[in-house]
Amino acid sequence: MQGQKSTRRQVLSAIGVLGGSALLYNMMTTMGYAAETQFAGPPKLSGAKKGASVVVLGAGLAGMLAAYELTKAGYKVQILEYQDRSGGRNWSLYGGDTYTELGGATQNVKFAAGNYLNPGPWRIPHHHRALLHYCKAFGVNLEPFIQFNHNAFVHNTEAFGGAPQRFRSLAADFEGHVAELLGKALDQKGLDAEMTAEDRDRLKEALRDWGMLDKDFKYAKNLRSSEHRGFDRPPGGGVNGAPSPSEIFGLSDVLDSGVWRQMSFFMNSEFQTTMFQPTGGMGMIGKAFAAQIPGLTTYNAKVTKLIQDKKGVTVTWSDTGTGKVNETKADWCVCTIPLTILSQIESNLSDKMQAAVAAVPYTNSVKIGLEMKRRFWEDDYAIYGGHSFTNQEIGLISYPNNNLFKDGPAVLLGAFSSGMGGYHLGGMSPEERIEVALTQGSVFHPDSYRKEFLSGASVAWSRVPWIQGCCARWTEETRQAHYQDLVAMDGRVVLAGEHASYVGCWMEGALLSSLDAITRLHKRALEA
């Protein structure tokens, strides 16, 4: 591109290729570029026709929100829920709970009072405005979720002889080495583009500050680089208070660790700080939603047939306790049943709708909660919240964000496994999963993990009876072919849930899809 002035977009693209998304975002900010979900407030629904009725299938967040807002608008609403509780995937397991998965394995949770495992959602991004709005409106107390912890670990079996390293050290060395390389590329005009002299100078200065380079633009062992990666001996007081710098890792070793994956993970818009969690467990949200719609939910109702005609909808369901078969009739239906289950239910939905329902696969994941006698990660490692990552099947461990500095037992997330690892763990018994979690998690805390272990619980989403998967995973191709058919009004039926959104696998997606669905249903009902 000699003689041709490049755009800033081209320069940023080159930086992204060389340095990854974390560096790209940093440079976008330096050059004046870098910057939510769609929520404009509760729907303004009113004036439902006298006696108009809606049956809602599923008492997850999407279903309960639909029932809440439609009731306010004047509809007669009934919810049919397969489980004996509300909340759906918004769920917490506490001590004393019992859970039976597909295949019959039953777990009796033994956690101490107040401790819990969130098998499904466990964190709330700051820009999930619909969820935050209703949490505030329904009195759900939220506390910070510590997502990003520099002092946690990154482990890769192929790097550093399998020894985990602190995130801060790996990330600092990655940034330092990349900053030095890019500084050299700027001097040698090696970015395949021209920049103004002013932009080149500003970018070099940004690289020096960001990468903690010395005056010669080199990344080296010194007190400056140690301010990011950690000191060999930290600053102290008195006679021996002077700090000493730490050895930096070579670029090849840092690349072997794959730390840029974690760096880019934290820059994903869904995972940026600040994040939140409900005090007392994620299930508190489902309980708060349920409290807004007392008496509307029929539990233990297994839907077996969904039939509509020009006059209304008939839902056939059986009581899972007694086996008694019942029918519920309504003018309209909001169906929030996961697609994995809806595809198995007899219905006369349109061919396009049924094709869309069948087209969307669900991911699997496995979460394992390990209760430990004490918070050794705090006492012995100075880790308060956040995650340690590994390329083993468990994926990561996550340290509890509540009750910091407290004595007594605490539950850490001993695995959040997906992909092939999730299916492998999902095929094991609960006891086998715990053993894997203890074995693989011990790489981070070898002196404490097994010694401090008390009890555990696990949920493999492929074996959860009422969903048989974790969440919907659209591809660009399936969205183009089926998404609009899935979210369209199909006669008197409309679907809602995270699968009917572009915020898949998040509670926010479920709520936004529900608000959109009931708004269109209400409009159709008024026109009918």
Q: What is the pLDDT of residues 242-299, one digit of tens each?
A: 999 999 999 999 999 999 999 998 988 889 999 999 999 999 999 999 999 999 999 9
The matching CATH number, chosen from 1.20.1440.240, 1.10.10.60, 1.10.3210.10, 1.20.120.530, for 8-35+169-250 is 1.20.1440.240
Structure tokens at 29: 């900010």
CB–CB of 369/411 below 8 Å? yes
Please tell me the number of Cα atoms within 13 Å of 371 on its side-chain side.
20
Pick from 31-35, 119-123, 249-253, 347-351: least confident: 31-35
Structure tokens at 120: 């499904």
CA–CA dist 415, 367 (Å, integer): 5
Query: What's the pLDDT at 6?
Result: 43
Query: What's the pLDDT at 269?
Result: 87
Query: What's the pLDDT at 191?
Result: 55
The matching CATH number, chosen from 3.40.630.30, 3.90.660.10, 3.30.70.20, 3.40.50.2000, for 93-151+274-281+363-463 is 3.90.660.10
Structure tokens at 358: 């069948």
Q: Is the pLDDT of residue 412 over 50?
A: yes
Where are the domain boundaries for CATH 3.50.50.60 in the chain? 53-88+286-359+474-527
Please tell me the number of Cα atoms within 13 Å of 135 on its side-chain side.
23
Q: What percent of the chain has pLDDT over 90?
A: 87
Cross-strand pairs, 316? 305, 327
**pLDDT grade for 172, boundaries at 50, 70 and 90:** very high
Q: What is the mean pLDDT of the chain?
A: 92
Report the chain's terminal Cα–Cα distance, integer Å.
62
Q: Is the pLDDT of residue 223 over 70?
A: yes
Query: What's the pLDDT at 245?
Result: 96
Q: Side chain identity at 168, as an amino acid letter?
A: R
Task: Please compute the mean of the pLDDT values over residues 480-509 and round it to a whole number.
Answer: 97
Query: What's the pLDDT at 21?
Result: 38
CB–CB of 440/392 below 8 Å? yes
Task: Please compute the mean of the pLDDT values over residues 421-426 and round it to a whole number.
Answer: 96
Reduced to 3 states (helix: H, G, I; strand: E, B; else coil), residue 453 is strand
Q: Is the pLDDT of residue 506 over 90?
A: yes
428 Cβ contact list (under 8 Å, min separation 6) = 436
Query: What's the pLDDT at 194?
Result: 65
Query: What's the pLDDT at 56?
Result: 99
> What is the H or E stretch that residue 251 is in?
helix 251-257
DSSP 316-362: EEEETTT--EEEEEESEEEE---HHHHTTSEE---HHHHHHHHH--B
Where are the domain boundaries for CATH 1.20.1440.240 in the chain? 8-35+169-250
User: Is beta strand 106-108 parallel, antiparallel or unpaired with respect to 98-100?
Assistant: antiparallel
Structure tokens at 516: 């959109």
Query: What's the pLDDT at 9?
Result: 47
Query: What's the pLDDT at 418?
Result: 94
CB–CB of 214/51 below 8 Å? no
Report the CATH architecture of 53-88+286-359+474-527. 3-Layer(bba) Sandwich (3.50)
Query: What's the pLDDT at 36?
Result: 63
Query: What's the pLDDT at 17?
Result: 44
pTM, two decimal places: 0.90
| CA-based torsion, 204, 208, 211, 217: positive or negative | positive
Query: What's the pLDDT at 460?
Result: 98
CA–CA dist 528, 524 (Å, integer): 6
Structure tokens at 289: 């939603």
Reduced to 3 states (helix: H, G, I; strand: E, B; else coil), residue 104 is coil
Task: Please compute the mean of the pLDDT values over residues 86-110 and round it to a whole number.
Answer: 98
| CA-based torsion, 490, 515, 463, 305: positive or negative | negative
Q: Is the pLDDT of residue 114 over 80?
A: yes
Task: Please compute the mean of the pLDDT values over residues 378-388 and round it to a whole number.
Answer: 98
Task: Please compute the mean of the pLDDT values over residues 373-386 and round it to a whole number.
Answer: 98
Reduced to 3 states (helix: H, G, I; strand: E, B; else coil), residue 254 is helix
Query: What's the pLDDT at 28?
Result: 39
Q: What percent of the chain has pLDDT over 70?
A: 92
Q: Is the pLDDT of residue 45 over 90?
A: yes
Cis ω for the linkage preceding 274 (within 30 of 0):
yes
Where are the domain boundaries for CATH 3.90.660.10 in the chain? 93-151+274-281+363-463
- In 10 A of CB 308, how many CB atoms? 20
358 or 7: which carries more pLDDT confidence? 358
Task: Please compute the mean of the pLDDT values over residues 94-101 and round it to a whole number.
Answer: 98
**pLDDT grade for 186, boundaries at 50, 70 and 90:** confident
126 Cβ contact list (under 8 Å, min separation 6) = 132, 272, 273, 274, 275, 276
